[in-house]
Chain A
């Protein structure tokens, strides 16, 4: 597993308190919201702020967010693409 995805999974478990899984157990392709990791709209606020804080990458709207929030894989790809 690459370092970025590992870091993201740690953020999901430690900061967003995703229940019942360890970072290693999170599927790279699982949807972040709804049925996948079960995040909700309040978690989305925290996630946007955490991405900015840890990676200095801003998700400005849902046109970008829809793509980025699809899974750990897509979020990692989005961050790589927008790293300053």
Chain B
């Protein structure tokens, strides 16, 4: 068993090495070109990869048959692969992607109200790239997230050779980091939270793409308790060297007493999935939750 795991690790390291060599020799395009045969053979041979992307693609494109589903899987994985290549290319070349933040003035205006801002996002687009560019906002930004310092594929924001534009609050910490997040909001700062992936803790159940799904509830309670707005900000890769970070929606979750909390959570969850649905109509292949999202 250990020998098999070692062999797998060595194979992965070899794969990374080949990609890095391609990027050193041929730049970002080299990595992109290499993606095609690798992902094509994965999609052709691996049943598991179809099981991982299938739960989303089946719901997003219910009318697609075998051939179109196969093509959807390929497009989804190529899109994800390009995000990973960008990350590697950044580390190799020291270059950066160019982007725009649509709704930046709105974000600044909300920050200047001094009530704190909950930036709600999701594992879509090149979110790490985009969020690494939030350094110019007038208040400090924190990310409530699970942070794996040992990850083989390093986080984008650790590869830029600059100081990270936000501080990380580790959601693996005691009480999921909510004490630190609450304090940051009380100081009028921003806290980004992934609104899609449930990694334990309290949740709200809503319908998304036709089936019930559990979403984390922390963001909405944080915002409601401190009087902050929830701002949904989603990233998209819009070109080879471009990204867009866009404000998709703003609302103020509120509840007066515990009896109203469940309804506030339901309403907020519904708003979030409606925005996510709109995003995925525009960027259907930039969804990067590769597991059965509806069973989380």
Which residues of chain A have a CB within 8 Å of any CB of chain B? 15-17, 33, 40-42, 44-46, 48-49, 52, 58-62, 65-66
Contacts and interface: CB of A to CB of B under 8 A. Distances in A.
Q: How large is the interface on B (under 10, 10 to 19, 20 to 34, 35 or more residues)?
A: 20 to 34
Nearest to A46: B225
B226 interface: yes
Contacts of A65: 174-175, 179
A48 B183 contact: yes
Given A41-B176, A42-B217, A61 B183 contact: yes
B202 A48 contact: no
Interface in B146-194: 173-183, 186
Given A49-B225, A62-B174, A65-B175, A41 B182 contact: no
Contacts of B186: 48-49, 52, 58
Interface of B: 173-183, 186, 201-202, 217-218, 221-222, 225-226, 258
Contacts of A45: 178, 181-182, 218, 221-222, 225
Contacts of B180: 60-62
A33 B175 CA distance: 9
Contacts, number: 62
B128 to A, nearest CB: 25
Contacts of B182: 44-45, 48-49
Contacts of B202: 40-42
A38 to B, nearest CB: 13
Given A45-B182, A58-B183, A65-B175, A40 B258 contact: no
B183 A41 contact: no
A17 B258 CA distance: 7
Given A45-B182, A48-B183, A62 B173 contact: yes
A17 B186 CA distance: 23
A75 to B, nearest CB: 13
Nearest to A50: B225
A59 B222 contact: no
B120 to A, nearest CB: 15
Contacts of B217: 42
B265 to A, nearest CB: 9
Contact of B221 (A17, A33, A46, A60): A46
Nearest to A59: B179
A52 B178 CA distance: 15
A60 B180 CA distance: 6
A7 B174 CA distance: 26
A59 B186 CA distance: 10
Nearest to A48: B182
Most buried by A among B201, B202, B221: B221
Given A40-B201, A45-B225, A62-B179, 10 more contacts: A41-B201, A41-B202, A45-B182, A48-B178, A48-B225, A49-B186, A49-B225, A62-B177, A65-B175, A65-B179
A35 to B, nearest CB: 15
Contacts of A62: 173-175, 177, 179-180
23 contacts: A16-B258, A17-B258, A41-B176, A41-B201, A42-B178, A42-B202, A42-B218, A44-B178, A44-B179, A45-B178, A45-B182, A45-B218, A45-B222, A45-B225, A48-B186, A49-B225, A58-B186, A59-B183, A60-B179, A60-B183, A61-B179, A62-B174, A66-B174
Contacts of B174: 62, 65-66
Most buried by B among A33, A49, A66: A49
